[in-house]
Structures are given as structure tokens and as C-alpha cells.
């Protein structure tokens, strides 16, 4: 399996999986995708059904990943999957259980990992892949990242204890929820460096960009990233679409729809990959909050990046985006993999005009029929009403992001086609909104008891590039 860039020229190099594992963007500024999606037929899906039932999620992950990875020994890859997906890491031995809601809806429970958000499913695999590849190269990696909450903690819990990986994670001082702070800052490991920057999330991101942009420094200190454009994270997410489809369907050609709360288009892109492989996914329903950059595109054909001032701070904060970093991958497929057109849109029109417009093109007209996409959005009032309603009708407490999904799923649910909502986090992470919706605190799973009481391990840092560089220099041998 070779990989190609969304902006790639026909004669550009075609790296393998392990080559792009530790990279971010392709050298031409595009994102990597497989040259062609591997195809699965009903017989393979039938084998996977038996595999999942008999040997479990890690075995299914191994079967799916082998289609995308041909430069890691198959037995080694199996070990990687087993270390990433087991019941010492996830709260359920099924890893991703499903449960039924009223009205033909289902929930795929993706939040059983150490940080109670679906990002654990990708990060746990990424950590194991990193360690394996670094061992093979006899190298070390210093992950430098910025987080407003979920990504950073998932990365830290996945990379802790890996001998070849160290993590420097920048957070905006005082701006995460007490629970999110406690999750990260209670980690007591020399290889995990929490940094509280005197600034907002954008300042943290700018610091990361400035330091990673100093190529000599980046090389000297082996800096790397774990951001959502990493292909390995996406391919890990393909597995839970397959697993959820297997658990909800009863025959090997039964069609199932998915509704996905969306920010950077990572999660739903994995659904698109699964559908493109031939997994019988009927419709991919995209749900946004008030930050409806993507909902607007799927309804109108216009993709318009928002300014910071136009980006709302909502009660589903992990979806508060001004642009969607993975969206270029989907546009590449939508435009028949025409890299020259993608380059024109993302490298020329978007920086120049702040938007591009595909309305009136045959590709946009074919979106629903060919790609199965529909979309809608949700508001704060919708979230509160949906959280309360799902609790009353189904006896299940969902988090505000999942509520965006359930609200939109109900708009598109059709009799006879099950609709799976991908649960994105546990309510305990967003208790303020839960209290507003139902008048009481969410239950706290045992594994998070008393974390706010634990000693905090965090370095305060001014919003200054040189200060960050000297911190890295003192911590990296």
C-alpha cells in the first residue's frame, strides 16, 4: 500500500505507511491518503463478523489494518493492536460496545478509554505504532502539541510509559475545565511535560508552529506531532466503524447509517473511508454545533473559513472550529482525486478569498447520491433538550457533543435503516452543561474518582517562543 498527497503531482514520491507515520503534512502541503482504498466484499465482512465475535476488537483491528499497512510484520502488527485495545486500557472488553436508543437509533460507545473521549481509540494505536517504529529506527521522539482539552490528554495517556516518546503539551492556563486539567496535570511521569501557557488556545498553537518551524531546532530535539491530520489516527478510527456496523447489522449486506458530531472532519472522514471500502454504510450524517462551517458546505457547496471573532465558544467546545483540518481529504475524493484542483482550492483560492464555492459543479450535485453525505446543525438549546430527553426516554446520559449527534440523527432517521450515533465523550467531562440540562451532576466513573485532589504536575510558561525552546532544551537529554 502506497500513499499519495491530496496536492501531489503525478510523479511525486509514493511513501509507505511507516514513512508517513511520523510525518504531518506531505512536503507539498497536502494530506496523505492511500493510493486506492482497499475493497472488501460480503465474504470478507462475514469473516470479520466471526473474527470480532470470536477473537474480539484487537483481532478485527489487525484484520482491517493489514489492508493499509504492508511494511510492518503481521505478527508485530497483531501485538501492536493487542497492546492498544485490551481491557486494561478500555473499560469494556468489547472496547466499542453498542446500545439501542428509541426510534431506530443506536449509540456506539467510543469513550471507554482512559480519557473518556473517542480520541483514545486513535491515540492508543498511534502510541504503540510510534514506539514500534522508533525502536526499529533506534530513535526518540519528542511530541510537541497544543490542546484545548481532549486531544492532549488522549495523547498523554497513550504515550505515557513509552520509553522512546516524550510529550510536551501546551494548554491555555486556566481555560480548561477543572476535570480536564486534573486529567492531564495529575499524570506524574518524567516523560510527560504539561505546560500552562499564559494565553489562549490559539497562542499555544502559534507557539507550537513557531518552534516546529525552526527546522534546525526541530531536528536537534526530534520534535514530532500527534495532530488530527495524522493518517494512522484516521485508519484506527476506520476500525470502530467496521466494528459498530458488525454489531448493529445482522446480515453481511445490511445497510446502516452513521451520524457523527464533527469538528475537524477526522471522525467522519474515517466513516467515509469505511464506506469507500465497501462497508455497507447507507448515509453519513454530519452534525455540527453553532460553528457550522461544514454544515454550510454540505448544504450549499460553499466552504468558508471563519475568523476567530466569528467562532463561537459553545457548550460542545471540542467542535468549536473555524476551519476543518481534515476536510481537504474528502474534497480530494469528491473531485475524483484531481490533485491539481485540490491545490488550486486549498493553496490558492482559500488563502486568497477565505472561501471556495463548489455549488453548481456536478461533483457537489452528486454528494448525497454518490457519497451518502447529508448534514445539519444544533444549538445550545437543542443540546440541553436532547440530553434531558434521551435521559427520560432511554435512561442514558449523553455528553453535549453526542447530543449534537442525536439531535441531528433524529432529523434523518428512516424506518428500516438503523442509525448509529458515534458517542464522542462521557458526560463527566462536561458536567457544567449536564447540570444545566438535568439539574444534577453526571455520575463519575470509578476510574476518575478524586482526580482533582491529586498533586498537579504542570510548568507555567509565558507566551514566548524562547521560553518554550529553553524548556524543551532542559528536558531533552
Ligand X SMILES: *Cc1c(COP(=O)(O)O)cnc(C)c1O
Comparing every residue's Cβ against ligand X, the nearest one is 266
Q: Which stretch binds ligand X (CB under 6 A): 24-32, 125-133, 259-267, 447-455?
A: 259-267
Q: Which stretch binds ligand X (CB under 6 A): 38-46, 264-272, 346-354, 407-415?
A: 264-272
Distance CA 223, CA 351 (A): 27
Q: Which stretch binds ligand X (CB under 6 A): 213-221, 256-264, 367-375, 432-440?
A: 256-264
Q: Which stretch binds ligand X (CB under 6 A): 66-74, 96-104, 262-270, 406-414?
A: 262-270
Distance CA 212, CA 222 (A): 10
Cell 447509517 maps to which residue? 257
CB 95 within 8 A of CB 57: yes
Cell 473474527 maps to which residue? 51
CB 123 within 8 A of CB 154: yes
Q: Is 427 in the site for ligand X (CB under 6 A)?
A: no
Q: Is 288 in the site for ligand X (CB under 6 A)?
A: no
Q: Is 116 in the site for ligand X (CB under 6 A)?
A: no
Q: Is 274 in the site for ligand X (CB under 6 A)?
A: no
Mark whether 323 is an active-site residue: no
Q: Which is nearer to ligand X, 133 or 320 (CB)?
A: 320
**What does the angle CA 21 – CA 24 – CA 28 come to, to the nearest 5 degrees?**
115
Site for ligand X, residues 362 to 421, rule: CB under 6 A: 401
Q: Is 123 in the site for ligand X (CB under 6 A)?
A: no
Least distance in Å: CB of 262 to ligand X?
Answer: 4
| 138 Ramachandran zone, left/alpha/beta (phi>0; psi -120 to 50) | left
SS3 content of the chain, % helix, strand, coil (to 5): 45, 15, 35
By CB under 6 A, name the one of 124, 262, 289, 292 that touches ligand X: 262
For 50, the 3-state DSSP assignment is helix
By CB under 6 A, name the one of 184, 242, 425, 461 that touches ligand X: 425
Q: Is 265 in the site for ligand X (CB under 6 A)?
A: yes
Least distance in Å: CB of 286 to ligand X?
Answer: 9
Q: Is 267 in the site for ligand X (CB under 6 A)?
A: yes
Q: Which is nearer to ligand X, 142 or 316 (CB)?
A: 316
Site for ligand X, residues 210 to 249, rule: CB under 6 A: 228
Residue 293, class by beta-carbon neighbours within 10 Å (0-12 exposed, 13-18 middle, 19+ buried)? buried
Distance CA 365, CA 383 (A): 31
Burial 229-249 (b: 16+ CB within 10 A, else e): bbbbbbbbbbbbbbbbbbbbb
CB 58 within 8 A of CB 86: yes
Least distance in Å: CB of 51 to ligand X?
Answer: 26
**What does the angle CA 185 – CA 190 – CA 196 come to, to the nearest 5 degrees?**
35
By CB under 6 A, name the one of 318, 376, 377, 433 that touches ligand X: 318
Q: Which stretch binds ligand X (CB under 6 A): 83-91, 195-203, 260-268, 330-338?
A: 260-268
Q: Which three cell numbers, joined as nine digits, stand for 117?
A: 473521549
Least distance in Å: CB of 177 to ligand X?
Answer: 12
Site for ligand X, residues 127 to 186, rule: CB under 6 A: 150
Closest Cα partner for 169 from 132, 200, 142, 202? 142
| Orientation angle between helical segments 119-137 and 74-84, nearest 10 degrees | 140
Cβ atoms within 10 Å, residue 393: 11
By CB under 6 A, name the one of 8, 199, 266, 442 that touches ligand X: 266
Q: Which is nearer to ligand X, 341 or 401 (CB)?
A: 401
Number of residues lying near ligand X (CB under 6 A): 16
Q: Which is nearer to ligand X, 33 or 472 (CB)?
A: 33
Q: Which is nearer to ligand X, 306 or 475 (CB)?
A: 306
Q: Which three cell numbers, joined as nine digits, stand for 21?
A: 507515520
Q: Which is nearer to ligand X, 171 or 424 (CB)?
A: 424
Q: Which is nearer to ligand X, 153 or 283 (CB)?
A: 153
Least distance in Å: CB of 204 to ligand X?
Answer: 16
Q: Which is nearer to ligand X, 286 or 461 (CB)?
A: 286
Distance CA 34, CA 241 (A): 18
CB 230 within 8 A of CB 219: no
Using CB under 6 A, list all residues that contact ligand X.
Answer: 117, 119, 150, 228, 261-267, 318-319, 401, 424-425
- Catalytically active residues are 119
Amino acid at each position: 500500500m502506497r500513499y499519495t498527497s491530496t496536492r501531489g503531482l503525478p510523479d511525486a514520491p509514493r511513501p509507505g505507511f511507516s514513512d508517513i507515520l511520523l510525518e504531518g503534512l506531505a512536503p507539498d502541503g497536502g494530506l496523505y491518503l492511500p493510493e486506492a482504498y482497499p475493497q472488501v466484499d460480503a465474504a470478507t465482512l462475514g469473516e470479520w463478523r466471526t473474527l470480532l465475535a470470536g477473537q474480539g476488537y484487537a483481532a478485527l483491528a489487525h484484520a482491517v489494518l493489514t489492508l493499509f499497512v504492508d511494511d510492518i510484520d503481521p505478527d508485530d502488527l497483531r501485538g501492536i493492536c493487542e497492546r492498544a485495545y485490551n481491557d486494561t486500557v478500555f473499560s469494556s472488553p468489547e472496547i466499542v460496545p453498542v446500545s439501542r436508543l428509541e426510534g431506530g437509533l443506536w449509540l456506539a460507545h467510543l469513550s471507554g478509554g482512559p480519557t473518556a473521549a473517542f480520541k483514545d481509540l486513535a491515540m492508543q494505536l498511534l502510541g504503540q505504532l510510534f514506539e514500534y517504529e522508533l525502536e526499529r529506527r533506534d530513535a526518540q521522539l519528542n511530541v510537541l502539541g497544543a490542546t484545548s482539552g481532549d486531544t492532549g490528554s488522549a495523547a498523554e495517556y497513550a504515550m505515557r510509559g513509552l520509553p522512546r516518546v516524550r510529550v510536551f503539551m501546551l494548554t491555555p492556563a486556566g481555560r480548561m475545565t477543572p476535570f480536564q486539567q486534573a486529567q492531564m496535570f495529575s499524570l506524574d511521569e518524567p516523560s510527560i511535560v504539561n505546560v500552562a501557557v499564559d494565553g489562549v488556545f490559539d497562542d499555544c498553537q502559534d507557539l507550537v508552529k513557531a518552534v516546529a518551524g525552526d527546522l534546525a531546532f526541530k531536528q536537534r530535539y526530534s520534535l514530532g506531532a500527534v495532530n488530527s491530520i495524522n493518517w494512522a489516527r484516521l485508519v484506527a478510527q476506520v476500525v470502530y466503524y467496521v466494528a459498530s456496523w458488525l454489531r448493529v447489522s445482522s446480515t453481511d449486506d445490511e445497510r446502516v447509517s452513521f451520524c457523527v458530531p464533527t469538528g475537524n472532519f477526522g471522525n467522519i472522514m474515517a466513516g467515509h473511508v469505511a464506506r469507500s471500502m465497501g462497508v455497507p454504510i447507507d448515509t453519513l450524517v454530519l452534525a455540527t454545533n453553532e460553528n457550522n462551517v461544514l454544515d454550510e458546505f454540505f448544504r450549499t457547496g460553499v466552504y468558508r473559513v471563519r475568523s476567530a471573532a466569528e467562532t463561537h465558544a459553545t457548550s460542545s467546545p471540542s467542535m468549536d472550529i473555524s476551519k476543518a483540518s481534515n476536510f481537504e481529504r474528502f474534497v480530494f475524493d469528491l473531485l475524483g482525486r484531481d490533485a491539481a484542483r485540490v491545490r488550486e482550492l486549498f493553496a490558492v483560492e482559500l488563502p486568497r478569498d477565505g472561501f471556495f464555492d463548489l455549488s453548481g459543479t456536478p461533483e457537489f450535485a452528486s454528494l448525497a447520491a454518490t457519497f451518502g453525505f447529508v448534514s445539519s446543525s444544533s444549538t445550545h438549546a437543542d443540546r440541553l433538550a436532547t440530553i434531558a430527553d434521551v435521559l427520560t426516554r432511554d435512561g442514558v446520559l449523553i455528553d453535549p457533543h453526542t447530543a449534537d449527534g442525536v439531535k441531528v440523527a433524529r432529523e434523518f432517521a428512516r424506518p428500516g435503516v438503523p442509525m448509529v450515533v458515534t458517542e464522542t465523550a462521557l458526560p463527566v467531562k462536561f458536567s457544567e452543561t449536564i447540570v444545566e440540562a438535568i439539574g444534577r451532576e453526571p455520575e463519575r466513573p470509578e476510574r476518575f474518582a478524586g482526580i482533582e485532589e491529586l498533586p498537579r504536575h504542570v510548568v507555567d510558561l509565558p507566551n514566548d517562543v524562547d521560553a518554550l525552546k529553553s524548556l524543551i532544551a532542559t528536558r531533552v537529554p
